[in-house]
């Protein structure tokens, strides 16, 4: 056992308190420690016997410490985690079953040209996914949540046969459909359908303005009022493909490249005059310019609607991540 003299080579300081002893517990003996520092600290504590203590019978426990513990305290950086404690970083929220279904639905559209070139197997898969989503519709009464309908919706898929001639590139050579969208304003009860075309020389759009009326919690009646042909915007440069298919025939456009170059020079000189022309509007006010639409699924980024003859429309909000490939 170490001698008392070896014990006194260490300084001591109070480090904690213990609960008060009972009246039957004998007083513990005190080692005759000769440390000057320890004696001075004990004297200081005795000069304030009860101040700040709820129970005067409490006593201090001491332990031997090395000299360097009386030096300057080491401060741990605030960002450092305590020893033995694992730091858990925030993890992204797990996808719900509905999120997975929406992702699968959008992935099934890839390469189908909005449904125009979808195979029968793909169409069956789309219908199955839509049916599952409709069963999980978070908005059972879409016409009572018109704020969700507000904004611009981009058409991602349709089975509407009436749009197929419009989407087919063989119908209009060198013309491509860039975007089909629908913009809804629930405050004025208006809806605008728009198709943006692009060609070698210019881009333009064709739109229809309509009013809608709520007929049921899911159904609206749409009455078209006017059509608008947008002012063509000439492109800065013309990109001509090597060939184009028209009425089943493939036409080589290589000999026309020189002619197109000269047309481009001429087009650039008249771009200002064409752009200054107002859009062309025409009336659609007749009894046949009506339709209805049933919204079967609606959330903040995805809308599924069914129309006449069982046609399906899947639209995505313009700023949704679902539009990103």
Of 37, 39, 47, 46, nearest in space to 69 by CA = 37
- DSSP annotation of 218: S
- CA–CA dist 129, 171 (Å, integer): 31
The answer to whether 192 touches 227, Cβ cutoff 8 Å, is: no
Confidence check: pLDDT of 95 > 50: yes
Q: Would you call 310 helix, strand, or coil by DSSP?
A: helix
Confidence check: pLDDT of 302 > 90: yes
Of 130, 124, 123, nearest in space to 105 by CA = 130
The first and second tokens of residue 286, run together, are 């007749």
Mean pLDDT of 200-214: 87
Q: Taking the model in full, what pTM does it have?
A: 0.62
Per-residue pLDDT band at 91 (split at 50, 70, 90): low
The first and second tokens of residue 223, run together, are 């009455």
Cβ neighbours of residue 121 under 8 Å, at least 6 residues apart?
A: none
> What pLDDT, in 10s, does the model give residues 13-51?
444 444 444 444 444 444 444 455 555 554 555 554 444
* CA–centroid distance for 302 within its chain: 12
Confidence check: pLDDT of 76 > 80: no
CATH architecture under which domain 137-323 falls: Beta Barrel (2.40)
Q: What is the pLDDT of residue 99?
A: 95
> What pLDDT, in 10s, does the model give residues 133-146?
999 999 999 999 99
Cβ neighbours of residue 251 under 8 Å, at least 6 residues apart?
A: 173, 243, 244, 245
Higher pLDDT among residues 62 and 215, named by residue? 215
Q: What is the pLDDT of residue 293?
A: 92
Phi-psi region of 273 (alpha: psi -120 to 50; beta: other; left: phi over 0): alpha
Cβ neighbours of residue 16 under 8 Å, at least 6 residues apart?
A: 60, 61
Domain boundaries, the chain: 4-67, 137-323
Cα 117-122-125 angle, rounded to 5 deg: 150
Mean pLDDT of 233-260: 63
Cβ neighbours of residue 155 under 8 Å, at least 6 residues apart?
A: 114, 180, 181, 182, 313, 314, 315
Confidence check: pLDDT of 315 > 60: yes
């Amino acid at each position: 056992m170490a001698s008392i003299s070896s014990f006194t080579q260490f300084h001591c300081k109070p480090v904690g308190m213990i609960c008060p002893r009972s009246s039957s517990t004998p007083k513990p003996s005190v080692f005759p420690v000769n440390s000057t520092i320890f004696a001075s600290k004990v004297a200081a504590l005795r000069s304030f016997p009860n101040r700040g203590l709820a129970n005067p019978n409490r006593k201090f426990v001491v332990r031997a410490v090395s000299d360097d513990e009386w030096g300057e305290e080491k401060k741990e950086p605030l960002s450092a985690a305590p020893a033995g404690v694992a730091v858990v970083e925030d993890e992204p929220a797990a996808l719900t079953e509905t999120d997975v279904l929406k992702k699968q639905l959008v992935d099934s559209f890839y390469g189908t040209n909005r449904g125009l070139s979808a195979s029968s197997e793909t169409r069956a898969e789309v219908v199955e996914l839509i049916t599952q989503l409709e069963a999980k519709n978070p908005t059972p009464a879409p016409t009572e949540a018109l704020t969700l309908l507000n904004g611009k919706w981009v058409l991602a898929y349709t089975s509407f046969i009436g749009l197929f001639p419009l989407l087919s590139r063989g119908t209009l050579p060198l013309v491509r459909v860039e975007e089909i969208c629908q913009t809804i304003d629930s405050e004025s009860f208006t809806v605008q359908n728009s198709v943006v075309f692009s060609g070698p020389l210019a881009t333009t759009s064709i739109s229809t303005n309509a009013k809608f009326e709520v007929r049921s919690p899911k159904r609206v009646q749409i009455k078209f009022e006017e059509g608008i042909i947008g002012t063509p915007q000439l492109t800065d440069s013309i990109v001509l493909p090597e060939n184009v298919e028209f009425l089943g025939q493939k036409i080589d456009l290589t000999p026309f490249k020189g002619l197109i170059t000269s047309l481009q020079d001429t087009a650039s000189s008249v771009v200002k005059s064409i752009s200054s022309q107002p859009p062309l509007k025409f009336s659609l006010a007749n009894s046949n310019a009506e339709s209805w639409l049933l919204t079967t699924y609606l959330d903040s980024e995805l809308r599924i609607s069914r129309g006449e003859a069982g046609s399906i429309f899947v639209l995505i909000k313009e700023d949704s991540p679902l539009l990103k490939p």
